[in-house]
Amino acid sequence: MSGLRVACSAVIVLFGAVCSVFIFCEYLIYYAAILQCGWPGIDRGAPAGEKSADGQPNAVVLRAMVLSDTHLLGAVGGHWFDKLRREWQMERAFQTALALLRPEVVFILGDVFDEGKWSSPKVCAHKSPLI
Domain boundaries, the chain: 1-35, 61-131
From 93, 91, 88, 87, select the one nearest 71 (Cα to Cα).
87
Neighbours of 70 (CB within 10 A): 19
pLDDT band of residue 55 (cuts 50, 70, 90) is low
pLDDT band of residue 130 (cuts 50, 70, 90) is low
CA-to-CA distance for 113 and 1, rounded, in angstroms? 59
CA-to-CA distance for 131 and 91, rounded, in angstroms? 9
pLDDT at 18: 97
Is the model's pTM score more than 0.75?
no
Strands (E) in the chain, as ranges, are 64-68, 105-109
pLDDT band of residue 23 (cuts 50, 70, 90) is very high
